[in-house]
């Protein structure tokens, strides 16, 4: 490869037939444009098994480092996009998702827009939006024993179904409350439509800089979801009187066991995730489209005057 070669990572949920087919299609489109697709080792084996004639392909981290990536094309649902964000962590390449799952809240396009999406990726015809992420640390006796990050959320959950956790919630290095619960979700605005939403948390616009704290089945009078400032560290400590151990999950992908006494400290990460957008539109439109919200009877402004109407309201 020459120094000016373009490197586009293709991430597909190759365990599903439609996603595997889409991955093969995208790789062939890139090859036809004179670009060698970059894939992870998991995708490499599945793609070559399904399409032995598919060549050339470059292996991420072996032939092409993540820092050399220009863009990441993701084919699947939100889980696949979270995996792609993990693969591309540490580089500035934006992710552009084509939804092949159910809701696909992080995706930018649908299956029928695949060819247009690839062409616009090749042309560099997109804008980049940055999403806040979380830095997550686990401490035992003041020693950091585990570090990771999250785009959607970090959750502290009970490890045993029949036992609850006893935790103390801390914000800005000050204790807020102790209570028993099934778990705690600490979320970004991006994750406010994911696990935090299922737990009763508010939907927060992605342009808002904040950290959400959502208790799960808490046995306490004060157990409402909280929205705290982005510079406020949030800590969850498993009290020694907890009936069982816990487990930390980040984005449903990275996990770490938590014994009583463990302390999970969550802060805003200095490194965001970058998403490529083909159309700039209000977040409310994405909410309505993804959740199929009823808006019949709306008598608002026509689209050409919407901006003026927003300024007057």
pLDDT, tens digit, 9 for 90 and up, residues 254-283: 999 999 999 999 999 999 999 999 988 899
The model's pTM: 0.90
Name the percent of the chain in helix, strand, coil, to the closest 5.
Answer: 25, 35, 40
Residue ranges, comma separated, of all CATH 3.40.50.10330 domains in the chain are 8-131
With contact defined as beta carbons under 8 Å apart, do 102 and 108 qualify? no
User: Cα(246)–Cα(23) distance, rounded to whole angstroms?
Assistant: 37
Report the top-level CATH class of 8-131: alpha beta
What are the angstrom distances between the C-alpha of 184 and each of 30, 104, 267?
A: 43, 24, 15
Alpha carbon of residue 54 to chain centroid: 30
Confidence band of 55 (pLDDT split at 50, 70, 90): confident
Residue 34 tokens read as 């004179």
Q: Is the CATH number of domain 134-268 3.40.50.300?
A: no
Confidence band of 222 (pLDDT split at 50, 70, 90): confident
Catalytic residue selected from 4, 53, 78, 257: 78
What are the angstrom distances between the C-alpha of 283 and each of 92, 107, 195?
A: 23, 13, 19
Task: Determine the angle formed by the axes of helices 114-123 and 17-32, rounding to 10 degrees.
Answer: 40
The residue behind tokens 């889409």 is 22
pLDDT (tens digit per residue) in 154-184: 999 998 876 789 999 999 999 999 999 999 9
The residue behind tokens 């979380």 is 134
Residue ranges, comma separated, of all CATH 2.60.200.30 domains in the chain are 134-268
The residue behind tokens 């046995």 is 219
Residue 147 tokens read as 């570090």
- Per the annotation, the verdict on 78 as an active-site residue is yes
pLDDT (tens digit per residue) in 92-128: 999 999 999 777 889 999 999 999 999 999 999 999 9
């Amino acid at each position: 490869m020459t120094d000016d070669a373009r490197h586009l990572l293709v991430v597909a949920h190759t365990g599903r037939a439609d996603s595997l087919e889409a991955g093969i299609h995208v790789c062939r489109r890139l090859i036809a444009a004179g670009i060698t697709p970059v894939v992870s080792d998991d995708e490499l084996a599945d793609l070559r098994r399904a399409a032995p004639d598919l060549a050339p392909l470059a292996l991420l981290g072996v032939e092409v480092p993540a820092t050399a990536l220009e863009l990441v094309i993701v084919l699947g649902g939100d889980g696949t996009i979270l995996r792609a964000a993990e693969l591309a962590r540490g580089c500035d390449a934006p992710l552009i998702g084509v939804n092949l799952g159910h809701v696909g809240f992080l995706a930018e396009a649908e299956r029928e827009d695949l060819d247009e999406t690839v062409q616009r990726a090749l042309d560099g015809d997109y804008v980049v939006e940055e999403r806040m992420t979380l830095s997550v640390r686990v401490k035992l006796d003041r020693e950091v024993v585990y570090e990771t990050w999250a785009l959607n959320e970090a959750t502290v959950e009970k490890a045993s179904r029949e036992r609850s956790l006893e935790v103390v919630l801390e914000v800005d290095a000050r204790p807020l409350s102790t209570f028993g619960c099934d778990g705690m979700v600490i979320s970004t605005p991006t994750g406010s439509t994911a696990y935090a939403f299922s737990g009763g948390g508010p939907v927060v616009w992605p342009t808002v800089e904040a950290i959400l704290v959502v208790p799960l089945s808490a046995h306490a009078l004060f157990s409402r979801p909280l929205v705290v400032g982005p510079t406020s560290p949030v800590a969850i400590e498993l009290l020694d009187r907890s009936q069982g151990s816990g487990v930390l999950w980040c984005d449903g992908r990275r996990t770490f066991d938590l014994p009583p006494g463990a302390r999970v400290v969550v802060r805003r990460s200095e490194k965001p995730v970058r998403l490529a957008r083909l159309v700039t539109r209000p977040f409310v439109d994405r909410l309505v489209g993804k959740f199929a919200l009823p808006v019949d009877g709306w008598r608002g402004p026509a689209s050409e005057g919407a901006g003026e109407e927003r300024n007057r309201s």
